[in-house]
Structure 1
Amino acid sequence: MIRPILIHPDPRLKKICDAVDDLSDERRALADDMLQSMYDAPGIGLAAPQVGVLERLIVLDCVKDVDPEPLVMFNPELLHSSDDLNTYEEGCLSIPEQFAEVTRPADVRVAWIDLNGNPQERDFGGLWATCVQHEIDHLNGKLFIDYLGPMKRQMMTRKSQKMKRERARG
């Protein structure tokens, strides 16, 4: 089921999410819905708070067009970040049609629980590293525009508010 994606500003996007304590069928269905919603949007990552669920769950797929490699992460945690940095032009499904360059660690190691309840750990680089950090930020109530200067952040927030109003009018 494709779920509606919250548009900034929405107070739920600024909340710190709760850890997932059990992998119920309902949570697995949520993960599946999130993947469908992400692909439909289209995007390369989606965090549970973006669909109004304040739990530590993210989905991502940075190669969706070639040979899909969907990842579902419950309780993802950054274990290590490199000193080397990368700058990517980031966007966000909750801040549609707006992009800005954000600098983040180039490589990260992440631990998480997979759909079967198994602990996983993996190193990510390049776009995958940027995407997983962006999505984990969502779980901590942080948006990519929080890395920008106040003027640019306000301008993007105003554009987002305007788009949100226009969508509400239908």
Structure 2
Amino acid sequence: MKRSALALAFALAIPSFAFASAPVAAQLPVIEHGEQAPGPHCEHKGEHGKGGPGYGHGFKQIKKDLDLTDAQAKVVKEASMTEMRAHFQIVQKYLDKLPAEDQATMKKDHEAATQLRKDEILKTLSPEQRVKAEAFFAKQKADYEKFRADHEKPKG
């Protein structure tokens, strides 16, 4: 028993020594913005934000890439919106089955995550930008509340 416990402790300690002997940060190359990072998924060559991969995803890009006519674009957009609404309804159906306390906890978690995001944004802004951002967030919340009131599902 003592031998197997000692062997297990030794086996678990070996990876710790390997990581401790060479700090990971020291092994990573310093990459300046716009330079190509090493690795298998680095084809973008720092093009994010410049129209590279990850840019233009969405309906306008699909319309452009597929060279859709206006009639085709309308059908594709309506089909996409229908799928999005169906997805929302499916998720909502299962969320409605949660107990009330779980629903309340989930709502609090969402609100906390939203507030954390807003706080992160606000702390990087100048005082003038903060005032504009807070006005934007207030307008966004009012628009959402109006939308919810207009689209309230009937109880029952």
Q: Say yes or no: TM over 0.5.
A: no
The answer to which structure, 1 or 2, has the higher relative contact order (CA under 8 A, 6+ apart) is 1
**What TM bracket, shorter-length normalisation?**
under 0.3
Structure having the larger proportion of residues in strand? 1
Which protein has the larger Cα radius of gyration, Structure 1 or Structure 2? 2
TM-score by length of 2: 0.25
